[in-house]
Structure 1
Amino acid sequence: MSFLAQPISTIPELTDQVTKQAFPEGNLYMRIRNELGCIYSERDFATLFPPRARLSFAAWRLVLITIMQYIENLTDRQAAEMVRGRIDWKYVLGLELTDSGFDSHVLSEFRTRLLEGSPEKRLFELVLERLKQCRLLMSGAKQHTDSSYVLATLRSLNRTEKVAEMLRATIHALAIVAPTWLRQHLTPEWFERYFPQIEEYRVPKTEEARNTYIETVGTDGIKLLQAIYAETTPPGETLRAVEEVETLKQLWVQHFYFEAGQLCWREVKDIPTVPLRHNLPCAGEACYVEKRGIKKQGYEEHMSEGYTQQQVRLLTHELIKNSTKVCSLQFK
């Protein structure tokens, strides 16, 4: 990325005029800009980049785009198109109507910086501080805390798709940790079989073909695990520490067994009960939750919100618990 330290800009005159004509009553994004300002500035992201690193698009704009992208459930490519074509997005970002935006890969690179720098607490507190300045949030006001679920937004996979996707995810993880070792243990057909994401439409439809496919996947998984746990494997300790490898091992125990030296696919009645299963290969920390008669796969969440009868309810504290980690954001 190349960097251009861009200050928080005012809204260009033509952008302001056209947007207000198109939305005479305003909309969500215009209210964010008018009532909350830009919230963030370049200095809020200074610690995420090396001193000489430079961004081609202002960091404060990228974080606002990421928020709007989440609101509308957009891909990076779609979000980049919105920046180029939506006048209300140009309004909140302070861009000229003729601004051509940026390449969508910039969003992915920026999110990587955010994940590595872990600034979520600071960014959350900046929003809350701005709400306090606008008198939408008052220190010492009433707090309401309740627990609910933040569920993993992932579809449930059928058994065949699930084990194949887990093997694919493990291969991709090993390709990062030990690419040379992996090339020595993969056969050419594995690249065609496991390089693309496993989707239901790619799984054979007939029972006979599906059984053959799952036997192949099961055998490939066993070969990979045997190679990883072989005493002669040079980087064995490193490979065994990969999270996907441990999940793959547990998933294979749950869905396969050996009989007379032959790998067999377990019947549904023989697999573990739902709370003990690994259901989401790419989100193993999203555990099974049962509460008040509701059974779901995801995360348990506790949320606190500040409220009065005259004001809107605003989130001030969030605690998300799962089987491996706890993260907490709190306004003080």
Structure 2
Amino acid sequence: MARVKKVSMQDIANRLQISKNAVSLALLDKKGVSEEMKSRIVQTAKEMGYGPYGQKQVEHPNLLVVVPDRVTSYDDNDHFHFYHDMIWGLESSIRKSGYNAIIVRVDHTMEKNLILPGLFEDIKYAGVILFGIMDKAYAEMIWKLDTPLVMLDSYYRDLHCPVVTSANMEGAYEAADYLIGKGHTRIGFIGPANLTTSHEERWYGFWRAMQSSGIKIEEKWCLTYSNGFDSTQREITGFLDRMGDMPTAFLCGNDRIALLLSQALQARGIRLPADISIMGFDDLNMSETSDPPLTTMRVNKTGMCDAAVELLISRLSSAREMVRWSIPPMLIERDSTAAL
């Protein structure tokens, strides 16, 4: 059998078309190359399996991506596409880092009865990425395995492990500040802060922006509690029924809520954005083609996936530390918002 050729610094230099000395400086974390080039060199070393990166890959080449069934189902078609992009983004990020991505689906019965998938026993793996909104008891069960773990997109504060999310507070602050800059002072918020940390943080970002601008938040224009994701449409209808006078703008905790709100308001004869402006968060595929196209905060899905993988493989130990890596979203302005 032919012996596999070891990757050298010169191989990395050849791929990047730079000097071997620059590669050496970067991998030894010495001065002499820019931070951008150093990052490229380190990433290329990981991709090519150079030195310690190659040793880790040979020992345990698999990373498990644990995904709850609600993320992979078609029940919510809009969010299915969003999460589908994230799952394949994770697969790509993991492959670029020299590992194998093993997608592990957890159905409702397994989640409810705290049943681990057989793959946890059947194969060797270097770590776990827990992706999406998982019941706390199930997430805690995985956390207690004392295996390297990163939670992606959603998390629980009392489970001390590395976490990668969108910069929810900062993004919501920017979104609310954008509406305020359009002249809106009567602004409502809709997002189930009781269900996920993402909505909780986006509510807090909205609160901070309003406080910073000296604008009073009217409780009757805010819906921050939900009985569950299946109740959203019914809860929005009841919320509008009892509201009375309306705000001039709404910031919603995600695009799904914003699109349901848009439909409900237009069914009541309210013009968007002439009467009320609406803004979402996430940038679902259909947000661009909705009527009207939705102004939103675009989550950096690729950046979140890359960060989750990098954080996991850089901390392959059983340590439990609450490390947060927040990836900034981008404001996307469309036709659902207008100046007063």
TM-score, structure 1 as length reference? 0.26
> More helix by proportion, 1 or 2?
1
Q: Determine which structure has more spread, i.e. the larger CA radius of gyration.
A: 1
TM-score, structure 2 as length reference? 0.26
